[in-house]
Structure formats: structure tokens, C-alpha cells
Structure 1
Amino acid sequence: MSYKTEFDYKAFLKTLTHRPGVYRMLDQEGKILYVGKAKDLRRRVSSYFQRAGNKRIQTMVAQIRDIQIVVTHTEAEALLLENNLIKELKPRYNILLRDDKSYPYIYLSDDEFPRISFYRGARKGKGRYFGPYPSGGAVRETLYLLQKLFPVRQCENSYYSNRSRACLQYQIKRCTAPCVGLVSREDYMRDVQDIVLFLEGKTHDVVDGLVARMESASADLAFEEAARYRDQIDAIRKVQERQYVSGEKGDLDIVACARAEGQACVQVFFIRQGRNLGNRQFFPKGARGRVEGEILSAFLGQYYPGRQLPTEILLSHKPEDRELLQEALSQQAGRKLVLRTAPRGERARWLKMARQNAEIALKARLAGSSNARLRLETLQEALGLEEPPSRMECFDISHTGGERTVASCVVFNAEGPLKSDYRRFNIDAITPGDDYAAMAQALRRRYTRIMSGEGRLPDILFIDGGRGQLSTAAQILEDLGVHGVLLVGVAKGPERRAGMEQLFLLEHQHPLILDAHSPALHLVQHIRDEAHRFAITGHRQRRNKARKRSVLEDIPGIGQKRRQQLLKQFGGMQGLSRAGIEDIATVDGISTRLAEKIYQAFHGTE
């Protein structure tokens, strides 16, 4: 439907009701310009045509060709409908929150020997869900921490059911190997119960239980067991110091807004059961010309409906219609929810910290390269990720005919190459030229170290190669118990030309082919080429170091002076390698026996 004539707003306003509801403004092509809610529809809509407003509103009003309304029973109902329509229609002149993804949880399965794992999606499976967490990285960090504190399995059930011997996780004391019966169910469930208490914020109960076990083991003269409990208690206390929010015991969100140069950043800190689960930042679209309260009003209305709500939300600025938002969110939660803008004491300090984080994040975004942000966002969209990747790694293999094989690992974050985290691996003890074995060795060495605490896992792991290399990488990560990392194989196209790359993912039957001009593809090419460069450089250094070493250095009785004399007499290594024993023996200081050794060094023993 299109509207070519001017909008007769005077006639329309005469028919408009004074009841609460939602209005949609349409342009001449029938596209939605703006969605709004009102306690009194006639009064609110009339205001657009009765006063000039700012330039943004003037521009919008000039494009209006029709207005559609939906009458609701209450203003709170209108608020919920407004935000549902904004999410669905994404009008040009509304403040838009570009985040409608499900949040990740930690899932504890209902198996005989429960598994603890990363989970995102509808919570339908049997078991317990802990969260939500602000990001996948926060879940992975917590799972890694739990694995060090409580050795409960994190492997997939398919992997767990087919084990005949304990895996590496048992060897590095990250699992008690229930798959092969090395732990009783009673002892295993004790660790599971400790995890539940820890995730519920009842850390003191966990510590009290461990103290009792430590004292019992000590009384039974089981000093090694007592020492293990002591170390566990010490580790938990250190974690407790880092994670807990002073004075908080319940569920609390802290939401702060910063605004500059037509852009805005909203920071959300998540406190659950007194534990700080981390924070997440958002950059709403359409913030130019809006004040902080208006931005927060739009953010709260779009972000919280449909999500698990805390009991209280601290806000850096008073949003428009705070009482209305509080009423609507309380209805959704089924209990009273408080929006607080002026906390005191410790809470005021935490709100100030959240506001500072929002300001810092916004400055970084404004100062950073817009092209870098675009590449990450388009890669997120291309791979169907819930959030832009914050850390990416890529591996490549380099050798010459199988000689001096070197594997490279390069690391990128949101700002670009993170060269301090680059690593090279000299590959030995494989069949020369076997790239699959070389990749397997490099991955195993890299991620064994990470799982032992020497670094952090990436969000995406790129492998230079096709399905074969991707399958090898997947098997290694499965063996090591590495989960939550997206594997992507990067293969050159049929003509091996730049722009024709194929991206292989484990769950996809066909490769993903991005447009040659896609910023996402440019980012992948940059990462892949950097891994290739770093591998080639390492291989050449290793090869040249080996080749620069003269075979004469390994011959007893040949020192530096005799080496120099031999090379001068024969014009270099090539001339010496062609010389016979008699010719070599004519050089001063070289006996016939020594000449034979030199000859054999070049030609082998006959």
C-alpha cells in the first residue's frame, strides 16, 4: 500500500480517542516511521502537529502519510505492545536495541553422573539452569573456574558413553573419570552438590562442608586428602573475594547510560545471589538527539520483556515514565520490581562504576576504527553468532617438502591482531609432509596448556584448510574437553583466488561462501593471511638456522681456524663438497684421517 497525497492530520485528530493505546506513523510507501504509546492518544498524537519540536521530529512529521492506532485497556499494556512492535518492525525514528538474542546459562543435566555445560536456548531439558550470564565468554570463564574447583565432567554424553579409558581431563585433575568407574556416585554427587551451592551463592556452605571433610581426613591421618581439601578451600576463598558484591545477597541489575557525539552506550551489570556475573554493553541505534533518560526508557522497555527479571534495577538516569515501566515490569515478573535512580552507600559506588564503564566503552567505540566494528558485526551475522566475537585464533602449517615443519597460532581481538598472544610450534615426530598430524600436534599442545590455565579460550577457532583439517581439529578439542568454541575451516576456492574462499562449519553440509566485498570475508582473510605469514616466517627461521650450521662444526678436530682455511682453499662449502680425500689432505693441518672424516661428512660412509 502506498500513500501519495498529503496527510490530513486535522481530520484524523477529530476522530481520535482519548483512551490509551499505541500509534504507528507511516510514510508514502506504507513503511513504519515511528511507533509510540500514549496514555491519551489524541493529546499525544496532536502534540506532533501543534509544536515544531526538534529537527528530527520535523523531518519525521513531514513524511507522515497515515497513522494507525491500537487502543489498549491500560497504559502499561500500551507500553508492552509498543516495545513488541518496535522489536518486530524496527522503525527508522525509534531508538532501537540491536540485541534480541537469548542469554546463555550453565546447565546441570539430570543424568546418573550429571554433566555441567554451556547452554543457550529454550530451557526444556531436565536438570537445572543457572544464569542468565551476560555473554558466552562469562559462561566459559565460570565453567573453567568450576572445573578447577570441582572435578565434574563437562564432556558430551556421546563422548562420555564411549570411553574405555580416562581422558586428559582426568590426568590434569579436572575430572574424576566417572566414565570408567574411577569415582563412586556418592563422591561424585558430593562435588555436584558443591557446584549447586556455589552457583546459588551459598559459598559459605561449600567452605564449611570442605572444612569438615578436611578435619575428618586429618583425623584419619589421610594427609594428602586433607591437603587437597585445604587447597580447594583456599581457591574458593580467592574466587569469593573476586566475585562477590559487598552487601548484596539477592538479584540486582545495574544499568548505566553514557552519551556523546550522537551515540550512546548502555552498560548492564548482572548480580545474581550476590555474585557479580559480569557485564554487557549495548549501543542503541537512533540515539542522536536523545537524552539519557529517553534512551534508558527505550532500552528498558525493549530489553526486559520476555527475560528473567531481577528484584531491583539501579539506573544512572531517571527514565521517562519510570512509574509506568516499573508497573509493566512488575506485572511481567509477577512480583514487585523496583527501579531505583539514587542509591546510597555501596550501591552508589557500584552505579558510579557502571557509569564509568559506559563512558569508557563509548569513548573506545568512537575512537576505534568504524571499519573494524563493521567487520566484526558482519562476521557475527554471517556465522549466526549471538554476539560479536571478542577473541579469535587461527592455525596454519608451513614446511618445505616436510622439512622443519612449523605451526603458527595467531590471535585477534576486537581491536585487531593481539601479537603478544601469538605462538609458534616446532613440529617433530610425524611423517614429513603430514599436515593433519602437524595440525593435531599443534592444537593438542596449544589447548592442553590453555586448559591447564595458561591463557583463555577463543570464541572462534579458524583452521586453514577444508573439512579434513576441520574434522581433525574437532576431534582434538573433543579429546581435550574444550567446548563452546566455534570451529571454522577456511579453504581456498576452486581457482585458489582471493575472494573465492569457502568457510566450512561442522554442522553445515555445504560451505559458506561470502561475497568478495563482504567486510566479514576481509576479516577472515586478514586473520588467515596473518597466520600464514607467521607460519612461513617461523619455518624459514628454523630452516635457515639448520642450514647455516656447517657440517664441519660436527667433526671433531675441526676448529674455527681450520674451517676458515678449508673454505678459503676450496672457495666455499660447494667446492669443498666436490673435493676428494687426497685434495682435502693437501690443506695445511689436515691429515689423511681427518680428510676422510670431512669427506664422509659430505658423502656418508661407504
Structure 2
Amino acid sequence: MSAREDIKSTLSGLPDNPGVYQFFDSSGKIIYIGKAKNLKKRVSSYFSGNQSGKTTVMINKAVAIRHFVVDTESDALLLENNLIKKYQPRYNILLKDDKTFPWICIKNEVFPRVFSTRNVIRDGSHYFGPYTSGLMVKTLLTLIRQLYKLRTCNYNLTEQNIAAGKFKACLEYHIGNCKAPCIGLQTEQEYNETIVEIRDILKGNLLSVTGQLKGKMNLFARELRFEEAQMIKEKIDILMKFRSRSAVVSNTIKNIDVFACSQEADRFYVNYLKVVEGAVVQAFTLEMRTRLDEDKESLLGLAVAEIRQRYTSDSPEVIVPFKPDIQLDKVKYTVPRMGDKQKLLELAERNAIYYKLEQKRKQTEHKQVTRTGRNLEKVKNDLHMPALPAHIECFDNSNIMGTNPVAACVVFRNGLPSKKDYRHFNIKTVTGPDDFSSM
């Protein structure tokens, strides 16, 4: 049986259920992965004859099709997303890798450390992010260190090691930045209570943490423990000051996700705003590179699933400019036309457009640098130079019928014009049209 006959046989046996399908080439490599509400209709549509050039090329290379049946459209979307990440098929959408973005890690250990990292290790530690701004990571860690006294050492602080007296209090304890759990001056229960509050802060639940602290403050005040109550009040003031710097969008909007998009040729940009307790606590833009003629509804659906999975979002409402092609479980899509939600959507759209323009600018600069490098390489080879010419000066002379001779000098540094080094000369020591003497 030929490859085309085998595909026809597969098409006739496809079910009408939701699922994921894979196209394989002659070497057995997956070249495309897709999802479908109805596997039979979706996969058969590729062979209808009305396809774009890219899709036709992909179909011509396919020699086999496999599929997975799942229970819901949501399951199909998540499975497709995971398989694309794993196999990275040639004709699928490419998601910009976030491995270089920083995260905040709460280490899986006794007396957990809290620190920033770019390496996510699946060892049970709790990671928050990724953050597109290093400044945001620094700001959050500074806030946490103002509020709580956490250890920074990497000692193995087991109960047995502490009881055996294996450690000594370091400088951080003596300057008031740590309570020295290493020598038993802070209990694990007390330390873990602060970690619970830190998790809430990193999730954006500032009002929840503030409410808990106010409860502690009032309790200390009733018990006449005024110094401890004052310390709690100072923490509340720090939190409220930090919250006032956040973008408070509305007193009526609570926990929602906002997605807006912008497209440029084969690039699709989706901006995500995470709103918690009325404030924007997270912003991120995902860049997607399309390979086939995917419609904007399917691209947005994939982006929503991918970003919510990355940020472990469980917001019940998602604000979008149009309905994606997939319905996630326990999620309500809203396309606002006015009010605070519409303003949020416009904010996300401006962010997506700005990111798109910034990427175009970077691409233009990269092309210019590449072109400049090629030009310098050609000059080096043509003139048989031992190295690339980092500094170039070009002179030209001119005169009017042998009178008023002048010269100009233009300078290039690393292949780019250095206009601050340009010079103009009036030549007073040469008579007549003599370019050689003018030089």
C-alpha cells in the first residue's frame, strides 16, 4: 500500500471525537501536530485541495498520520501544547523560549531560602515567574527582605545538625537581617509562617497578607505587647506603600486574566496582564512564530492555555479581544465593549503593539550589524588586511577652477558612521588644482 493510500485509509477510520493528530514524514519524524474538536473533519480538511502554499508543502511531505482521542477540547489543547514543546515539529508554531527570564524561587528545604534564579530545577521548589523585568524581581526581593528576616546561607539546617551545634551565627544575624535558625534562635514553625505570607505576596495577594498582619497587630495590642504591634504596623505600612505603586485598575475588578494580541507577518504577539485584587501584578508578552496559515482564534487559544499554565493562573474570568477557538474548563471569556475591563484590554493591546515594534527595531539593528560585518570582511579581504578595519577615514578634495580648495573627512568606527569625528578643511598652502598636494 502506498503512503497516499495509507493516509486515505487512516482518514476513513478517524473518529468524530476531540483529540490531537500528528503528521509524519518519510523518515518517521513528526512534522506537524494539531488539535481538533472533531478529528475526522479537521484532518480530512487538509486534503480538500483548498490549502495555502505552506500547508500544501507540508501535506506533500506527510506519509503517515496518528491521532490521540481525549475527553474534551481543553484536554486536546493542553496535550497539543505539551507535544509541540517536546517534539518541536518543523511546521508548528514556535513559542519564544522563556529560559533566560528570571524567576523567584522558594527552595524545597528546611528553613527555605528565597532568591532569584534563571534555572528552574524540578526538585519540589516553588517558582514564581517568569518575570520579563529584572527590576521587578529586585523590587519584590527587596520588599520581602524589608518585611522578613530570612536566612541566606546554604547550610543543611536539619534538627539534628542544629542540636549538635554544627553552625555559628553569621554576620547577617549580627546586623539584624536573620534570626539565626542555624543555632536554634528561630523555630521552624515561625519561619514557615513567614514563608506562607511570602507566597501570598508573590501571588499578588497583598490585601490578604495585610489583613492577616492587621489581625496580629490587634492581638498584640490587646495583650499590651506594643513593641511587637509596632513592628507589625511598620510591615503593613511597607506593604501599602508597595501596593500604591502598583497599577490599581478598579475597586470592583478582583481576579482576572487579560489577553490582547498584535500580528506582523508570521509573528503573533500576545500580551498578558494578571490582575489580583484590582491591581496588575504581572505582565508578560509571548511571541509566537507561525508556520502555516493558523487563524487568530487558534493562536490566541494556544497562547491563553500556554500562559495560564506557565503562571499557574486559576482566574475564573479571562478578558480577550475576541473569543478563542477553544473553551477552557471553568473559564469564562469576556469581550468587553466599555468600562474598566475595556481599558485593561486597551492597555494590554498597547503593550503587545509596543513589544512588536521593539522586536522589529531589534531585528532591523541586527540586520544592519550583520550587513556592516559583511562589508568590513570584504574590505579586509580586498585589501589583504590582517584584521577587520575598526577605524576608517575617508578624504575628498574639491576646488573651483583651481581656487578656494577645500577638503572633507568622514570617519567610520566599526563600520558605522561616526559623525562627531567628521571634519572640514580650508586649504591655504596649495595653489591650483592639485589634489595630491591638497592631500
TM-score scaled by structure 2? 0.63
Q: Distance in 1 between matches of 2:292 and 2:7?
A: 30
Corresponding residue for residue 178 of structure 2: 175
Q: Distance in 2 between matches of 1:75 and 1:185?
A: 45
Contact conserved, 1:198 with 1:206, CA < 8 A, in 2? no
Corresponding residue for residue 28 of structure 1: 26
Q: After superposition, give the CA deviation of every residue in 1:314-361 in whole Å (9 maximum; x if it has no partner).
A: 343335423xx32xxx2xxxxx22233337532322222122111111
* Higher strand proportion: 2
Corresponding residue for residue 210 of structure 2: 204
Which letter maps to 2:12? T
Q: Distance in 2 between matches of 1:118 and 1:100?
A: 15
Q: CA distance change for structure 1 residues 19 and 86 in 2, over 3 Å: closer, same or farther?
A: same
Q: Is the radius of gyration larger for structure 1 or structure 2?
A: 1
Q: 1:286, CA displacement in angstroms?
A: 2.0
Corresponding residue for residue 87 of structure 2: 89
Q: Secondary structure of the residue that 1:62 maps to in structure 2?
A: helix
Contact conserved, 1:269 with 1:279, CA < 8 A, in 2? yes
Which letter maps to 2:93? I
Q: CA distance change for structure 1 residues 304 and 105 in 2, over 3 Å: closer, same or farther?
A: same
* Further displaced range: 59-68 or 298-307: 298-307
311, 316, 326: which one pairs with 1:312? 316
Which letter maps to 1:234? D
Q: 1:136, CA displacement in angstroms?
A: 8.8
Q: Distance in 2 between matches of 1:43 and 1:196?
A: 46
Q: CA distance change for structure 1 residues 9 and 355 in 2, over 3 Å: closer, same or farther?
A: farther
Within 5 Å, give how 1:402-481 maps onto structure 2.
none
Corresponding residue for residue 241 of structure 1: 244
Q: Percent identity?
A: 24
Q: Does 1:339 align with 2:337?
A: no
Q: Secondary structure of the residue that 2:54 maps to in structure 1?
A: helix
Q: Distance in 1 between matches of 2:188 and 2:32?
A: 59
Q: 1:16, CA displacement in angstroms?
A: 3.3
Within 5 Å, give how 1:84-483 maps onto structure 2.
84-99=82-97, 104=103, 106-107=105-106, 111=110, 115-117=113-115, 120-122=120-122, 124=124, 129=126, 131=128, 134=131, 137=134, 138-158=136-156, 164-168=168-172, 170-171=174-175, 173-179=176-182, 195=198, 198=201, 200-201=205-206, 202-206=208-212, 208-209=214-215, 212=218, 231-243=234-246, 245=248, 246-247=250-251, 251-272=255-276, 276-286=280-290, 289-304=293-308, 308-322=312-326, 325-326=327-328, 330=329, 336-342=330-336, 345-369=339-363
* Higher helix proportion: 1
Q: Secondary structure of the residue that 1:50 maps to in structure 2?
A: coil
Q: CA distance change for structure 1 residues 248 and 121 in 2, over 3 Å: closer, same or farther?
A: farther
Q: 1:310, CA displacement in angstroms?
A: 1.2
Q: After superposition, give the CA deviation of every residue in 1:558-589 in whole Å (9 maximum; x if it has no partner).
A: xxxxxxxxxxxxxxxxxxxxxxxxxxxxxxxx
Q: After superposition, give the CA deviation of every residue in 1:185-244 in whole Å (9 maximum; x if it has no partner).
A: 998788667646655431432552576489789997x7xx88766654432221021236
Q: After superposition, give the CA deviation of every residue in 1:3-34 in whole Å (9 maximum; x if it has no partner).
A: 9x773488447733342243322333333332
Contact conserved, 2:213 with 2:232, CA < 8 A, in 1? no
Q: CA distance change for structure 1 residues 124 and 263 in 2, over 3 Å: closer, same or farther?
A: closer
Q: Secondary structure of the residue that 1:69 maps to in structure 2?
A: strand
The RMSD of aligned alpha carbons is: 4.5
Q: Secondary structure of the residue that 1:57 maps to in structure 2?
A: helix
**How many corresponding residue pairs?**
354
Q: 1:104, CA displacement in angstroms?
A: 4.3
Q: Secondary structure of the residue that 1:24 maps to in structure 2?
A: strand
Q: 1:145, CA displacement in angstroms?
A: 1.3
Q: Distance in 2 between matches of 1:304 and 1:163?
A: 42
Which letter maps to 1:16? G
Q: CA distance change for structure 1 residues 74 and 269 in 2, over 3 Å: closer, same or farther?
A: closer
Name which structure has the greater RCO, CA cutoff 8 Å, separation 6+. 2
Contact conserved, 1:104 with 1:121, CA < 8 A, in 2? no
Q: CA distance change for structure 1 residues 71 and 207 in 2, over 3 Å: closer, same or farther?
A: closer
Q: Secondary structure of the residue that 1:151 maps to in structure 2?
A: coil
Which letter maps to 1:348? Q
Q: CA distance change for structure 1 residues 370 and 11 in 2, over 3 Å: closer, same or farther?
A: same
Q: CA distance change for structure 1 residues 76 and 117 in 2, over 3 Å: closer, same or farther?
A: closer
Q: Secondary structure of the residue that 1:366 maps to in structure 2?
A: helix
Q: Distance in 2 between matches of 1:142 and 1:267?
A: 22
Contact conserved, 1:25 with 1:33, CA < 8 A, in 2? yes
Contact conserved, 1:294 with 1:319, CA < 8 A, in 2? no
Q: CA distance change for structure 1 residues 169 and 365 in 2, over 3 Å: closer, same or farther?
A: farther
Which letter maps to 2:274? F
Q: 1:58, CA displacement in angstroms?
A: 2.7
Corresponding residue for residue 64 of structure 2: 66
Corresponding residue for residue 7 of structure 1: 4
Q: Distance in 2 between matches of 1:84 and 1:31?
A: 17
Contact conserved, 1:250 with 1:272, CA < 8 A, in 2? yes
Q: CA distance change for structure 1 residues 145 and 60 in 2, over 3 Å: closer, same or farther?
A: same
